[in-house]
Amino acid sequence: MNFFKKLLKKLAKASLPIFNFDQNELKFQIDSNDMFSYPLENFDFKTRHDPYALDAYTIKNRDIFIEHIRLDTDSIWNGEPYGTFKSFFRSKIHAQSMDLIKEFIIDNYTFATYKIDDDFIVHLIYIYDFNKNTFIVDTKGELFFALVNELDHSYVYPYENEKKINIFFDISMSKENAFRSFFGHSMG
């Protein structure tokens, strides 16, 4: 009987999307029963088009930038997605340095804090699923802290006194894929 309970829990967890944007809220899977909702205000949503992506979009406001890419089943990344995004992000903000302060993984989430040009910090959240990749840049740390705290109630945010800035990003790996080949057709 325990086997079937465990199997049903795994199926329930697999059926929930890990990340979703719906009705002006970012929704994150916390466990097989719970989703964490984070309201987003004053944002710009752009659908992105690429022949290798089934679904791609960017969302941005003063504090948060999100790029969500769901590849077609016969498409693959031409590198590790999170590393590719970090390099792309660094080049787009023209950073001389992007030093990792701390990085940790909880389930399908990777959380990282970077010091940019020895001046200010940004938080990156990477969410991965079967063929979906979501990259979040949080310049203020509010979403970062709220989401980590939902996943790990003992988390203490140590960056309250660090310098943070507003950056209104207008970048997209999906938009630039035709020129930069971040992802493409699988040869298999």
The answer to whether residue 11 scores a pLDDT higher than 80 is: no
Tokens 């290798």 belong to 52
For residue 67, the model assigns a pLDDT of: 97
Structure tokens at 98: 């992007």
Q: How would residue 151 be classed by pLDDT, with cut points 50, 70 and 90?
A: very high
Percent of the chain with pLDDT over 90: 78
- Name the packing angle between helices 81-92 and 173-180 (round to 10°): 100
Nearest residue to 169 (alpha-carbon basis) of 135, 126, 120 = 135
The residues, any chain, with a CB within 8 Å of residue 183's CB and separated by 6 or more, are 50, 52, 53, 69, 71, 75, 76, 77, 78, 177
The answer to whether residue 73 scores a pLDDT higher than 50 is: yes
- What average pLDDT does the chain have? 90
Nearest residue to 171 (alpha-carbon basis) of 53, 20, 60, 50 = 60
Structure tokens at 1: 């009987």
Q: How would residue 79 be classed by pLDDT, with cut points 50, 70 and 90?
A: very high
Which ranges constitute the DSSP H helices of 16-141?
81-92
Q: How would residue 13 be classed by pLDDT, with cut points 50, 70 and 90?
A: very low
In a 13 Å sphere around the CA of 174, the CA atoms on its Cβ side amount to 26
How far apart are alpha carbons 181 and 60 in whole angstroms? 23
CB burial of 28-56 (b: ≥16 within 10 Å; e: otherwise) equals bbbeeeebbeeebeebeeeebebebbeeb
Is the whole-model pTM more than 0.75? yes
| pLDDT tens, residue by residue, 118-144 | 999 999 999 998 889 999 999 999 999
Structure tokens at 75: 């498409």
User: DSSP class of residue 139?
Assistant: S
